[in-house]
Amino acid sequence: MPVFLLTNDDGYFSEGIRALREELKSLGRVITIAPDRNLSGVGHSLTFSMPLRIRRVDEDFWTVIGGTPADCVHLGYYVLLDGKKPDMVCSGINEGPNLGEDITYSGTVSGAMEGRILGIPSIAFSAFGGESKNFSEIAKVAKKVVIEVLEKGMPEDTYLNVNIPDLPQDQIKGFLITKQGRRAYKEKVLKLLDPGKKPLYWITATEFGWHLEEGTDYWAVYHGYVSITPLQLDLTNYRAMEILKKRLKFTTEVEK
């Protein structure tokens, strides 16, 4: 029976994590450990500056007070599982997509990234579009991806970023392996005034837009497909290494 370690960045109370937990429970044991608050956009931060407390919510269900998604996976692995590798780390289902450059801010994707760092096959799940967010339907689609990966395996050094359109299952056109797309909106900063008339600033992302390039994550979900983007921990730009070797007076070789 497979063991899953499940986290998210929306908080342990969110509908998305509870729906995914229910679906995964039909496949194996699910140990859920998630932040006690909404930490969307927290990225891959790990808390070094203070100790953390784990609190029990329910059977195999825990929350980390003040903990990030990366903290949750880290503590889930080292404390709850006592360093025994689960078969898979799942993160989500996030309430909203994680596409293009946004994945660098994403706590959801970072939960899966932490799983991969610990050597565990890991998948991040996010919901795209829709007003109602039918998480029980979205979780059924997520389960199909989990089953496929459990059966066939994942390449080394890889974790998956999966975005699922919020559509009835029969309206989902299929599953596409995609590349990371590019966002085309201007980040906006709202200026507000506090009661003392001093300025406050609120970073928002209200003006959305994407480069609709075929083969990308955004193109897939926009057209009703589930987007599966393989990501890697190694951020090295190997093509640039070759270019820089020619262009700069630096080299990759050690002089002997």
Selected range binding Mg ion among 38-46, 64-72, 134-142, 205-213, rule: CB under 5 A: 38-46
Q: Does 14 bind Mg ion (CB under 5 A)?
A: no
- Pairing of the two strands 3-7 and 53-58: unpaired
Q: Residue 36 annotated as binding?
A: no
Selected range binding Mg ion among 39-47, 74-82, 148-156, 185-193, rule: CB under 5 A: 39-47
- In angstroms, what is the minimal distance from the CB of 249 to Mg ion? 45
- In angstroms, what is the minimal distance from the CB of 156 to Mg ion? 28
Selected binder of Mg ion within 5, 10, 102, 112 (CB under 5 A): 10
Which residue reads 């089953």 in tokens?
Answer: 147
- In angstroms, what is the minimal distance from the CB of 124 to Mg ion? 10
89 to 108: interface string for Mg ion, x by CB under 5 A: -----x--------------
Q: In what order do the strands lie in the sheet with 174-177?
A: 53-58, 61-65, 29-35, 3-7, 88-94, 122-128, 158-165, 225-232, 174-177
Q: Which is nearer to Mg ion, 68 or 94 (CB)?
A: 94
Q: Does 7 bind Mg ion (CB under 5 A)?
A: no
- In angstroms, what is the minimal distance from the CB of 42 to Mg ion? 9
The binding site for Mg ion (CB under 5 A) comprises: 9-10, 40, 94
Which residues make up each annotated binding site for a divalent metal cation? Answer: 9-10, 40, 94
